[in-house]
């Protein structure tokens, strides 16, 4: 029997980082969670315990904070700078994942945390090139009409009635891969965000799958630098409550919001002829 070491990596997970830019009376707040992961010629540490080529995860954490001192123009650029820094010698590939937690401005130096929506960026680099994957999670959307679900397959276990008019709600988890490194990262994020919201609100939905495709298609139409979009849309079910035991009708007004189980719709929408993904998706987690 032959035993060998397979793919491996290591890094520092979830470094919490808050930077305050104090230029002028109106401060700027950047709240991030940064994770690093390195891979390469690291067999020795696994097989013999020789740590000669192991850059400590504590050093990776310190590097994150040191680079933050130089300023954070965008999370994509910040991730690119870090990933390229780590690729050296035995470290052949580096991945940096950055989560940006938004705060709402209340005054010149006062802020309030803004919901669960989080902006994401995952940057993967080797000695020759780099890939950038943008993303977001926790974007909660709802349409209270213009959604149906009919004509679906049935078998002996099907009990679901057809719905000619239903609530459609989801919490968007999206990743989009850039075809190159020349994007205006902040503008691209704002455009993708708007495209996702517009497509959701403007699409008459006959299935959540149809809505997902419309959202991915809208992103590719509006942001030419994006090669493909991967979306995961949980169907946050809302069930009409039966009020008849209380002598009341319910003309589509009172619902029970179920948290689980839920339908989960996932798909990729991609542009023909785009540069192959390389390591981007393999390391991006989606």
5-12 average pLDDT score: 97
* Close Cβ partners of 265 (under 8 Å, ≥ 6 residues apart): 208, 209, 212, 231, 232, 233, 234, 235
SS3 200: helix
Hey, which residues does 139 pair with through a beta bridge? Answer: 172
13-to-35, 45, 153, 236, 281 alpha-carbon distances in Å: 4, 20, 44, 30, 19
Residue 275: which pLDDT band, with cuts at 50, 70 and 90? confident
pLDDT value at residue 280: 72
| Third-level CATH fold of 8-128 | Urate Oxidase (3.10.270)
Known catalytic residue: 101? Answer: no
CA dist 59 and 55 (Å) reads 7
Q: Give the pLDDT confidence of 216-235 residue by residue, as tens digits.
A: 999 999 999 999 999 999 99
DSSP string, 92-134: EEEEEEEEE--EEE-SSS-EEE--S-EEEEEEEEESS-EEEEE
Is residue 61 among the annotated active site residues?
no
pLDDT score of 261: 96
Please pick, among 12, 61, 101, 193, the residue that the annotation labels catalytic.
12
pLDDT at 284 over 60: no
Strands 103-105 and 91-100: unpaired
pLDDT band at 246 (very low <50, low <70, confident <90, very high): very high
Calpha distance 105→108 (Å, rounded) = 8
Segment 46-64 mean pLDDT: 98
Q: What is the CATH number of domain 135-275?
A: 3.10.270.10
Question: According to CATH, where is 3.10.270.10 located in the chain?
Answer: 8-128, 135-275
CA dihedral 163, 211, 268, 179 (to 10 degrees): -170
CA dihedral 85, 86, 91, 95 (to 10 degrees): -120
Active-site residue, selected from the candidate residues 27, 33, 45, 57: 57
* Per-residue confidence (pLDDT) for residue 181, from 0 to 100: 95
Q: Band the pLDDT of 278: cuts 50, 70, 90.
A: confident
- 274, 277, 278, 280: CA torsion to nearest 10: 140
Q: How far apart are CA 121 and CA 212, in angstroms?
A: 21
Q: Would the pLDDT of 87 be above 50?
A: yes
pLDDT greater than 80 at residue 57: yes
Whole-angstrom distance, CA of residue 65 vs CA of residue 122: 18
In this prediction, residue 115 carries a pLDDT of: 87
**Separation CA 87–CA 93 (nearest Å):** 6
The pLDDT score that the predictor gives to residue 16 is: 98
Compute how many other C-beta atoms are within 10 angstroms of the C-beta atom of residue 246.
Answer: 8
At residue 223, the pLDDT reads 98
User: 61, 101, 193, 237: which one is catalytic?
Assistant: 237
3-state secondary structure 225-269: CEEEEEEEEEECCEEECCCHHHCCCCCCCCEEECCCCCEEEEEEE
Q: What is the pLDDT of residue 286?
A: 44
How do residues 123-140 score in pLDDT, each as one tens digit?
999 999 999 999 999 999
pLDDT in tens, 157-172: 999 999 999 999 999 9
Distance of CA 140 to the CA centre of its chain: 13
């Amino acid at each position: 029997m032959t035993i060998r070491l397979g793919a491996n990596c290591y890094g520092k997970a979830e470094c919490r980082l808050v930077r305050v830019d104090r230029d002028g009376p109106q401060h700027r707040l950047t709240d991030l969670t940064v994770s690093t992961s390195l891979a390469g010629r690291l067999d020795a540490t696994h097989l013999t315990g020789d740590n000669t080529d192991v850059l400590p995860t504590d050093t990776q954490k310190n590097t994150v904070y040191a680079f933050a001192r130089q300023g954070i123009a965008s999370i994509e650029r910040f991730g690119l700078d870090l990933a390229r820094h780590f690729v050296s010698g035995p470290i052949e590939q580096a991945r940096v994942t950055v989560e940006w937690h938004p705060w709402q401005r209340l005054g010149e130096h006062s802020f309030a945390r803004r919901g669960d929506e989080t902006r994401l960026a995952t940057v993967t680099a080797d000695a020759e090139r780099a890939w950038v994957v943008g993303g977001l999670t926790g974007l909660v959307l709802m349409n209270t009409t213009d959604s149906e679900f009919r004509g679906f397959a049935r078998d002996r276990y099907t009990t679901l009635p057809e719905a000619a008019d239903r609530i459609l709600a989801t919490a968007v988890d999206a990743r989009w891969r850039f075809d190159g490194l020349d994007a205006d990262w902040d503008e691209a994020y704002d455009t993708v965000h708007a495209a996702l919201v517009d497509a959701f609100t403007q699409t008459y939905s006959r299935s959540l799958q149809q809505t997902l495709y419309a959202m991915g298609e809208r992103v590719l139409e509006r942001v030419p630098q994006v090669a493909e979009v991967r979306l995961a849309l949980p169907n946050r079910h809302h069930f009409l409550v039966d009020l008849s035991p209380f002598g009341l009708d319910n003309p589509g007004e009172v619902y029970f919001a179920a948290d689980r189980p839920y339908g989960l719709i996932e798909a990729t929408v991609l542009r023909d002829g785009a540069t192959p993904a390389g390591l981007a998706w393999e390391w991006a987690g989606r």
